[in-house]
Structure 1
């Protein structure tokens, strides 16, 4: 007979990006959470970005395509009819382990494409309803950026200051200024200074291979450790 203490309130299948966010907040709220993940915990020491052979490693064992990676926890995916390349990771943190950490929001107009553009359907919610959750997630994920972008309605600035703009970015900004085009410093889920469980970015420039420094906001860094501290369990190899 199973003891009542072994019974979870919530079972989450998949320890990826949304699974990590859900596990953290449900565990913080006092619920007993179990997460089943078919992959395993990634280790910063295994990521290829700071190794001389990183280009070879990202072409095989750290590819974003599970058909190429071919690890035991991967499974084949038919992309014959897809125009979009396959980019995913099976493990704790999911595809946030390999994402580039570009942290863009949908514009208010994106929620009303039927009304404004006559295509698809309008969302049943609007930007304003999502704004508190956008802002809360920025805090959880150590987002860096510059507040006040006039392309969006007013709201809170990201919790961390923006990263410096490099030469290429400055050149592009100067060109857009000449054309009279709007531009704004990029918002990223990468801390510009030490923040909670994340380290300050050291600008390896290899975010899509996994961050060997532990800076980028993968949920195996930002969410799951908090969930575990609140009693959640993560079962790997499930």
Structure 2
């Protein structure tokens, strides 16, 4: 098919309609710029997703979401369907193609990084420093929290702030309050998580009523999701084009990105020229797009003259402990995640092993308990009583370990393994090193101490030796730095070689810290939108 041209030339093209793309687009559009957002997936409807979740026999959090055949995503029911793994550890990730992106299913934890997380190399001699400081990002954190509606309260281990949380913290579940009470009497910093979940009516949305399926879908929109950022951008004048798979960035003679090309599901190619481009297609699809954009003026791909695109992939490798409390605590009531232990979030130990955040899982494990009891041979009334008793007492704590940015953890293109549109699939080499593994052994000791402190019965504890759980926090791939020799974007998230190309994504993170990445993504995206508006106005 012949390439067709987009009907008009906007000021800004944003690639990706998740929380990052939506926030960057909203700032640009509210400053009077013509903005077009290109999204590879469809529009999503909350009622449809909720219905699909009720009806599906599958239990993974991607199950109720449509997975476009023309543009696949990693599938937890078949991890080999899209990402090609070549390293010793699997980099299994989940993300949604669709307006709103992956914050349709998330725990809504909205942590700020600590000031020390921006200075890992300077303070502890490992990893990398950011080319900007916590103070540079603090007002954008505040802006993002206000837009999303974050509920929380100050406590030891939470980042400093110049203003109060937009909303008061939600009341804790009985389980969270009981366990936090015991652990805090014994020196653990177990605090309320800051969450983008309403504790009162906020931004026209209702307060949380405790449905307990924040993942995969909040049925009443009490929890923030990225489609809200996109809708706000549309109110500011942005136009969204769905089912548009961007596959090529055109470098122009003047050293800028002159146009973007995308494919529709039937393979029709469209070219859209713009004054500025923002890449917000998540931490894997953004570097993949840049690498696919090889051409005479960029033989190794856009922004890849020093071979840095795709490198430094990170996540938060996880371990867990499962235990039965001595008395019923009734997990599964209220939000799925409410409290975290911050005792090991920062300290001199980071020079030797990874920081970590531990968080209590507020979910009922009745399904696995039932299987366990049936395997024990229980039947009838004894089976029913046993399931009820264990389900009321069984709890789990999970962890996020801080992974260091390593250049060998990288995404490349599998040129001989193509997706349905004929584009090379992402190929991943990933290895979880000694920095995390040493920390995970310490985490297992902490888990055992927690179980003993609670007077609970240990059911299982993982050490990392049997493998780590992925936590779907894709970071790295277009890393931020001052030196183009070892980074892709500068402190403003602008690609070094191009003065009209920005990246709004966790792919720019120079460090992972040990907390969820979404709030930092949102803060950086707002900052990108403001920088784009400033540059184009000038």
Which bracket does the TM-score occupy, shorter chain normalised?
Answer: 0.7 to 0.9
Match in the other structure for 2:178: 171
CA-to-partner distance for each residue in 1:26-62, whole Å, 9 max, x for gaps? 1111111000101011101112379543553647643
1:59-98 map, 5 Å: 61-62=63-64, 69=67, 71-75=69-73, 76-79=82-85, 81=87, 82-98=89-105
Q: Are 2:196 and 1:194 equivalent residues in the alignment?
A: no
* Aligned partners of 2:156 and 2:189 also within 8 Å: no
Match in the other structure for 2:34: 32
Q: Are 2:102 and 1:104 equivalent residues in the alignment?
A: no
CA-to-partner distance for each residue in 1:176-197, whole Å, 9 max, x for gaps? 2221222321110111122114
Structure scoring higher RCO (CA < 8 A, sep ≥ 6) equals 1
Local SS of the residue matching 1:164 = coil
Q: TM-score, normalised by structure 1?
A: 0.86
Give me the whole-angstrom Cα distance separating, in 1, the residues matched to 2:239 and 2:125: 46
* Aligned partners of 1:198 and 1:217 also within 8 Å: no
Give me the whole-angstrom Cα distance separating, in 2, the residues matched to 1:115 and 1:93: 36
Local SS of the residue matching 2:240 = strand
Give me the whole-angstrom Cα distance separating, in 1, the residues matched to 2:128 and 2:59: 42
Give me the whole-angstrom Cα distance separating, in 2, the residues matched to 1:84 and 1:197: 38
Match in the other structure for 1:234: 240
Q: TM-score, normalised by structure 2?
A: 0.40
* Aligned partners of 1:33 and 1:231 also within 8 Å: yes
Give me the whole-angstrom Cα distance separating, in 2, the residues matched to 1:129 and 1:25: 18
Give me the whole-angstrom Cα distance separating, in 2, the residues matched to 1:57 and 1:8: 42
Give me the whole-angstrom Cα distance separating, in 1, the residues matched to 2:96 and 2:62: 13
Give me the whole-angstrom Cα distance separating, in 1, the residues matched to 2:49 and 2:93: 19
1:1-238 map, 5 Å: 6-48=8-50, 52-53=54-55, 56=58, 58=60, 61-62=63-64, 69=67, 71-75=69-73, 76-79=82-85, 81=87, 82-146=89-153, 148-151=154-157, 152-221=159-228, 223-238=229-244
What is the CA-CA distance between 1:123 and the residue it aligns to?
Answer: 1.4
Larger deviation, residues 15-24 vs 43-52: 43-52
Local SS of the residue matching 1:35 = strand
Larger radius of gyration: 2
CA-to-partner distance for each residue in 1:81-113, whole Å, 9 max, x for gaps? 354431210001111111221111111111111
Q: Which blocks of at least 5 consecutive residues in structure 2 are unaligned?
A: 1-6, 74-81, 245-538
Match in the other structure for 2:276: none
* Aligned partners of 1:16 and 1:95 also within 8 Å: yes
Give me the whole-angstrom Cα distance separating, in 2, the residues matched to 1:192 and 1:50: 27
Q: Which blocks of at least 5 consecutive residues in structure 1 are unaligned?
A: none
Give me the whole-angstrom Cα distance separating, in 1, the residues matched to 2:124 and 2:152: 30
Give me the whole-angstrom Cα distance separating, in 2, the residues matched to 1:50 and 1:61: 8
Distance 1:198 1:98, change over 3 A: same
Distance 1:87 1:70, change over 3 A: same
What is the CA-CA distance between 1:71 and the residue it aligns to?
Answer: 4.2
Work out the number of aligned pairs and report it: 228
* Aligned partners of 1:46 and 1:212 also within 8 Å: no
Computed over aligned residues only, the root mean square deviation of the Cα atoms, in angstroms, reads: 2.4
* Aligned partners of 2:110 and 2:196 also within 8 Å: yes
Higher helix share: 1
